[in-house]
A and B are shown apart, each in its own frame.
Chain A
Amino acid sequence: MSETTPRPPRDWAPWLVLPAVLLVTLPLMSFSTWITLTVAGAAMGMMLFLMASGLTLVFGLMDVLNFAHGAFVTVGAYIAVSVLGRLTGWAGSDSVLLNLAALGIAVLSGAIATGGVGWFVERTIIRRVYGSHLQQILITMGGLIVTAQIVIALWGAQPLLVPKPAMLRGSLLLGASAIESYRLVAVALGLLLYAAVHTVLNRTRIGLLVRAGVENREMVEAMGFRIHRLFIGVFVAGAALAGIGGVMWGVYQEIVTATIGDEMTVLIFIVVIIGGLGSITGCFQAAILVGLTANYVGYLTPKLALGSNIALMVIILLWRPRGLFPVAKQ
């Protein structure tokens, strides 16, 4: 009889937060409003997840905190402006398929462009400052400023309009609640990409190595894997995901300024802190949570909407100082 090491009891409490928020808010408003707000919150949450997932993985894997992550969002949003501006024929047509194709091309080009920028940033900026948080924060802050300024130099300082594909502008009526169709697209894309990230992390060999690296980097290195190559891959993929988030967010807002990434940076940080640095499940749940809270509070008490996300973070941190789903770290 071999003795097995006792497993730590599974921690269920964090899983209950999201359902609790959904249930508590239901009696506070009419059902149709609740549906509308929930879809809006979920859509915002999905986009936040795309933007934040790369940051949390990069931190978990390499202990690198990239304050310039918001710059990828900005670049993605501006790529959306350029691509959709050239595809006005497709984006303006009555065919939903052509509309989606235009959006798809924008998303793909955004991912490729920001992936490239991410690769460049990792090579030139990040790789020199491994191990020192202070230098990482300072250097990536410098990178954030420089990227924003280059974006202004290339696209101009004035706000730009993003042509949202024609058929995605209206709302669908579901019972008594109106749901913007673009939000449904955002939710679908977000779920698809979350499933993809989840599958890669949990079902492939590379994912296994990434998860092992997050848990214990030295051990993976000692087994002979070149974790740095893996890290570049994760960094580029994270940048590409943030770029996709930027494309979707830019189209959603329909107007893009050079500070769009900076504005999202704060929300991204809140998501990453609430979820627990390094955890992709936590990142997903926290993103939805932040999206929902922002929408519910914005409807119930608009004056409190400003501070609602920070209040949420404070409450969660007081309850769970390391976030909802902390990753085991040495």
Chain B
Amino acid sequence: MRTLLRLVSGDRPGHPVASLLLLALLIALAFAPFLFPGTRSMAAAGRICIFIVLAASYDILLGYTGIVSFAHTMFFAIGAYAVAVPLAKGWGGWDAIALGTLGGAAIAASLAALIALLSLRVRKIFFSMITLAVASLAQILATQWRDVTGGEDGLTFALPRALGPAFRLLDEPFLGVRFDGRLITYYLIFTVCLVLFWLMLRIVNSPFGRVLLAIRENEFRAEALGYRTVVYRTIASAQAAAIAAVAGALMAILLRYNGPQSTLSFEIMVDILLMVVIGGMGTLYGPALGATVIVLAQYYLQPALQAVSDATASLPLLPALFHPDRWLLWLGLLFILIVYFLPAGIVGTLRKRRA
């Protein structure tokens, strides 16, 4: 127990319920292929892993540093394209994946640093507006620059043989599960995500992370104590962008495809915001829970809406409001209600109750 605590830098979830939930989540994800066999559920598990990392990296910005960026999906997409483009051009292989991931992370970090230096120097609120503008530019670029990004259709590509479904690690199934390329892909994603999440725990609990918290709480005081707040914010922004880019690379590997809809769309940005706010800003564990809730909700919310829509078919307007395509409406309402009534999120509220 003590080694586990030291491993997470002494950062406790803060409430027995939160600890239990997180432990259950960790076990469920670690043994997902055995606990929930099937392609669909394994894809969902991979998605949860990736979004945990993506939401947690966003939390470094939103929860720990107190700045709102709308360009986080752009960095996610940069990582995804950095892997997808070389693979789709036929340069298939592990070197393409590794170089693409690292290169994507480097590009994302430098771009984030550039945006941050330009806007955070001025005013914190400019940062939100400018990231929104840059993100929309990226979206246009990704759909227009067809030769490289494949436009709206995106890029489909083949992965190295060891990650393909035809590959067999063991000839016989073990515990009823085939040890094929999909399983290897899942555990590759799971391992990288676990390492990244651990890395982020180390970051936010380091002296550097404390300075970020100080900036969030009182910028003037942090500056007066001698910390160059702009530099700290810029570094935090670059770190979050690099981690998001790696998550994007994993997303491309999971889907064997990348396009604007899968990594760059505004809906994903909204999802990330929801995950962080529902789970609890500034806790890192919260976004992990939030990501799980939202990904699962996406898998089950639309069928539920369809049922309500059918049930109210004879009434005016209601079927239109409960149409399965209107799920964003309900997520938006949920989001507003949570910002009002549960601003600390799940983990934050639990922590407060304990204290």
Contact = CB atoms under 8 A, between A and B. Distances in A.
Given A149-B332, A150-B329, A317 B118 contact: yes
A152 interface: yes
A146 B329 contact: yes
Interface of A is mostly: helix
Contact of B122 (A145, A146, A317): A317
A266 B132 contact: yes
Interface string A237-273: 0000000000000000000000000110110011011
Interface in B313-331: 317, 320-321, 323, 325-326, 328-329, 331
Contact of A157 (B126, B136, B141, B325): B325
Contacts of A185: none
Contacts of A263: 136
A307 B137 contact: yes
A285 B333 CA distance: 37
B58 to A, nearest CB: 12
Given A134-B66, A273-B130, A125 B326 contact: no
Contact of A134 (B68, B134, B270, B317): B68
Contacts of B66: 134
Interface stretch (B155-163, B196-204, B283-291, B334-342): B334-342
Contacts of A269: 129-130, 132-133
Interface residues of A, number: 41
B136 A266 contact: yes
Given A153-B320, A306-B140, A142 B332 contact: yes
Interface string B236-251: 0000000000000000
Interface of B: 62, 66, 68, 118-119, 121-126, 128-130, 132-134, 136-137, 140-141, 144, 266, 270, 273, 277, 317, 320-321, 323, 325-326, 328-329, 331-333, 335-336, 339-340, 343
Interface of A: 65, 67, 125, 128-129, 133-135, 137-139, 141-143, 145-146, 149-150, 152-154, 157, 262-263, 265-266, 269-270, 272-273, 277, 306-307, 309-310, 313-314, 317-318, 321-322
Given A65-B128, A129-B339, A146-B336, 15 more contacts: A137-B68, A138-B335, A141-B273, A141-B335, A145-B270, A145-B328, A146-B333, A154-B317, A269-B132, A307-B137, A310-B134, A310-B137, A314-B118, A317-B126, A322-B123
The 8 closest A-B pairs by CB, nearest first: A149-B329, A145-B332, A142-B336, A146-B332, A269-B129, A142-B335, A153-B320, A321-B122
